[in-house]
Amino acid sequence: MDKSNGMRRTRYCGEIDGADVGQTIVVSGWVQRSRDLGGLIFTQIRDRTGIIQAVFNESAGREAFGAAAELRAEYVVSVRGELRERSPDAINPDLPTGAYEIAARELAVLNRSDTPPIYIEENLNVNEAVRSKYRYLDLRRPDMQRGIMLRHRAAKITRDFFDGNGFLEIETPMLTKSTPEGARDYLVPSRIYPGEFFALPQSPQLFKQLLMIAGFDRYMQIVRCFRDEDLRADRQPEFTQIDVEMSFVDADDIMEINERYLVKLFKETIGADIAAPFPRLTYADAMDKYGSDKPDLRFDMELTDVSPVVKGCGFTVFDSAIEAGGCVRAINAKGCSHFSRKQIDELTDIARTYKAKGLAWAALEQTGARCPFSKFLSAGTFEALLSAADAQPGDLILFVADQSHKVVCESLGHLRVELAKKLGLIDNNAYKVIWVTEFPLLEYDAEEKRWNAMHHPFTTPMDEDAPLLDSEPGKVRAKAYDVVINGMEAGGGSIRICERALQDKMLGLLGYSKEEAERRFGFLLEAFKYGAPPHGGIAYGFDRLVMILSGRDSIKDVIAFPKAQTSACLMTGAPSPVADDQLDALGIALADGLKKGEA
């Protein structure tokens, strides 16, 4: 049954402007709020573009006025009337359409609404579980809709840019072979092949390499990926990548075209100018200077290596770390000498979270230095230590010592960011984009006593380091690069291995037997026999990239239907049990302890 009385929308609410004044228009949407002032009813109507006010006058349209008196928030309506300018004293400067209103003559109530469990308004402060359960209402909120529309815009710009630079968007399979290289695969049982499984792709990595071997020398895809892993705030079990691969290139070629892409993306989505070429930091320099392989360069506060100054100083904490092959480093929190012991203890707790054993400190006040460990140092050593840290009156110097260089750098790196937040040093309107390069090819897992790939098993080593694969694999650097925006990894890539012998050696270093390598990756290894071009690429976390563009703190705010921290969908109730006949058809029996009706 048509409830619209023949009315069809002629304008979106937020797109109305002075050119429509004097014209009869039709808008459709949801009632934001309605105020009955006796002979006049003022109703705000909202769609995804914005809000426009309609005015119902009892003398101008009795039937429409009577229907308007019944309106409640979130009723779905269509309104026909003449657009007019508001009187100067009635203009709403908070609305882009606040200078106009519709003199309503007709109203169609298309659907009524119960009172929503959440308010449809900006910057809502409500329990996340409630937002997730009623996601379709959460998505009605204007700030959420702007994020989703920005995502659409970013996707279109992405496709247009890469299309204009000779890339082909090619779809890769969603049902593929299980080749886990870190996170667990989501497995899909096959009815046709009982006892066998497809896997949902963690990334299109192997397929895009095969596309290079096939001769499609420039590929891109905006693609869904899946990882069955424990979730963190910025992770989802299903996510979207911008996937890019190129042949007959080196790392500089890939970085150059992606710099042009990001410059265009930022300009055309949010009007921000970012300058290219982006600065480059090696992984070693990033860790040494900022304690992170994704440093935020919107503020200073670099780490300082004070090991040469305090070597053999007599303070056991420093001496034992250096003697064990470790180091002592410091950061200077400018103007923070007033921090109380409680505040310093809170910083110590943060450092311990990242495996530091503790935090040494020195506060330079106008009357002298407060420093619990200065009594263990000679006056000359203490002065040299403060000088090395560029300490001035008013500064607070924080030190971490450990036999692990990584623990020292990472704990101070996190302290650096925490202090910047506390001190208001971060300009949220600035964008600092950098490349971090020359990552280690491998990292050693002491618990499992094996090497793991820092990025993935298909990354090629730096040419000059390749001879070290046999003797000192831990010193081998990779032709790998991450693009970092404001302290967040937005994308990462590498030049790939394209020779069978080198790929065999890499898999061997990672602990794969020849038989297991063949079982998991045989189709790729076979393809290398038939002329693989040199190639490389990059993949962006599209959800995170849009989050950065939108200025939001969570990727959930730019995904239409995200999962909860538990990986469940609170709106639909997924995952959920399935009928016994479905399990029987797949040859699946539930393990003991999983009762019927349990997820």
Q: Assess whether 438 and 576 both reside in one domain.
A: yes
Contact 16, 46 (CB under 8 A): no
Contact between 453 and 459 (Cβ < 8 Å): yes
Amino acid at 496: R
Cα gap 292→288, rounded to integer Å = 8
Q: Are 264 and 222 within one domain?
A: yes
In a domain, 138, yes or no: no
Answer yes or no: do 320 and 265 share one domain: no
Which residue range is the domain that position 482 belongs to? 145-281+434-580
Strand locations in 230-299 (E): 238-247, 280-282
CATH number at residue 224: 3.30.930.10
Q: Domain tally for the chain? A: 3
Does 207 lie in the same domain as 160? yes
Residue 129: inside a domain: no
Angle at 489 between CA 487 and CA 494, to 5 degrees: 135
**385 neighbors 310 (Cβ within 8 angstroms):** yes
Query: Are 152 and 203 members of one domain?
Result: yes
Inside any domain, residue 126: no
Selection from 487, 464, 475 nearest residue 416 by Cα: 487
Q: DSSP code of 184?
A: B
For residue 290, tell me if it sits in a domain: no
> Domain of 53: which CATH number?
2.40.50.140
pTM: 0.93
12 phi and psi, to 5 degrees?
-80, 145
Shared-domain flag, residues 403 and 453: no
In whole angstroms, give the CA distance from residue 104 to residue 65.
9
Q: What is the pLDDT of residue 217?
A: 97
Rg (CA), the chain: 30
> Residue 132 domain-assigned?
no
pLDDT score for 126:
87
Check whether residue 328 and residue 203 sit in a common domain.
no
Helices (H), 271-300: 283-290
Q: Where are the beta strands (DSSP E) in 201-342?
A: 218-226, 238-247, 280-282, 304-305, 327-333
Residues 450, 511 within the same domain = yes
* Same-domain check for residues 439 and 409: no
List 401's β-bridge partners, or say none.
Answer: 328
Residues, the chain:
599
For the chain (length 599 residues), average pLDDT per consecutive 10? 81 95 97 94 97 91 89 97 95 95 96 95 89 96 96 98 98 91 86 94 96 98 92 82 98 98 98 96 97 96 96 94 96 95 95 95 90 93 95 96 96 97 94 97 87 92 94 95 97 96 94 92 94 97 97 94 91 92 90 60
Domain check: are 159 and 46 in the same one? no
Same domain, 453 and 552: yes
Q: Is residue 374 part of a domain?
A: yes
Query: How is the beta sheet containing 304-305 ordered, strand by strand?
Result: 304-305, 327-333, 396-402, 360-365, 368-370
317 with 397, same domain: the answer is yes
